[in-house]
Chains A and B, each alone.
Chain A
Amino acid sequence: NAGVTQTPKFRILKIGQSMTLQCTQDMNHNYMYWYRQDPGMGLKLIYYSVGAGITDKGEVPNGYNVSRSTTEDFPLRLELAAPSQTSVYFCASSLTGQGTYNEQFFGPGTRLTVL
């Protein structure tokens, strides 16, 4: 199993450009998440999905969009990039979102700089 994979690893965008961050998991997990992590800070939830076709907003959704057409893929779309979106983006997945045991598996991250 590759686990959670993310592409690209690094990207520099100009203000106003758009891009899609890709995330794929091969563990057949229902739940998937997108986080951003600013330097020296914790992770902030952007969007999450509880299954194909179902997505919902997290703490910081403004400026982002997601879709979940398959169990495996959960792309994050940035429209009209702004310097405030400079961050490291992590995708994660988990088997369930409830229950007494819940582990999130994280991808390696995408480092995005907006200039």
Chain B
Amino acid sequence: GQSLEQPSEVTAVEGAIVQINCTYQTSGFYGLSWYQQHDGGAPTFLSYNALDGLEETGRFSSFLSRSDSYGYLLLQELQMKDSASYFCAVRGFNKFYFGSGTKLNVKP
């Protein structure tokens, strides 16, 4: 089976850096994705790691260690608009398995 663990909630102040961790157990692994979802909205794609290491896209970075079954999303220079839920998702063969999400609260 598949299981993903991520913290349920994180709070940080505007301008800070926050890291959201994700650990997973899966019988087949092709990559780790991150999605952002604002309240009442649809998930939107942030990043995808198929190989070990760090991927950087603007203020967001994502890291993967396949040997540790672990990844994280790093958000820098936090802005109020970053307040949202963040989901990690493991890609198996043709399927995606999502974590329960981390609610990020950004305070002024």
Number of A-B residue pairs, CB cutoff 8 Å, is 64
The answer, yes or no, to whether A97 is at the interface (CB within 8 Å) is yes
Q: Are B98 and A42 in contact (CB under 8 A)?
A: yes
CB distance from A8 to the nearest CB of B (A): 15
Report chain B residues within 8 Å CB of A31: 94
Report chain B residues within 8 Å CB of A90: 42-43
Q: Are B87 and A43 in contact (CB under 8 A)?
A: yes
Report chain A residues within 8 Å CB of B48: 100-103
Interface size on A, residues (CB 8 A): 28
The stretch from A17-25, A65-73, A78-86, A105-113 touching chain B is A105-113
Report chain B residues within 8 Å CB of A43: 43, 87, 89, 96, 98
Report chain B residues within 8 Å CB of A77: none
The answer, yes or no, to whether B33 is at the interface (CB within 8 Å) is yes
Known: A43-B87, A100-B51. A58 touches B101 (CB 8 A): no
Report chain B residues within 8 Å CB of A74: none
Interface of A is mostly: loop
CB distance from B89 to the nearest CB of A (A): 8
The answer, yes or no, to whether B30 is at the interface (CB within 8 Å) is yes
CB under 8 Å from chain A, chain B span 22-52: 30-31, 33, 35, 41-45, 48, 50-51
Report chain B residues within 8 Å CB of A50: 94
Closest chain A residue to B99, Cβ basis: A42
CB distance from B28 to the nearest CB of A (A): 12
8 more contacts with CB within 8 A, not counting A100-B50, A100-B51, are A33-B96, A40-B101, A43-B87, A43-B96, A56-B94, A90-B42, A100-B31, A102-B91
Chain A interface residues (CB < 8 Å from chain B): 31, 33, 35, 40-45, 48, 50, 56, 58-59, 90, 97-109
A-B contact pairs, 14 of them (CB 8 A): A41-B101, A42-B89, A43-B96, A45-B95, A45-B97, A56-B94, A59-B95, A97-B93, A98-B30, A100-B51, A102-B31, A103-B33, A103-B45, A106-B43
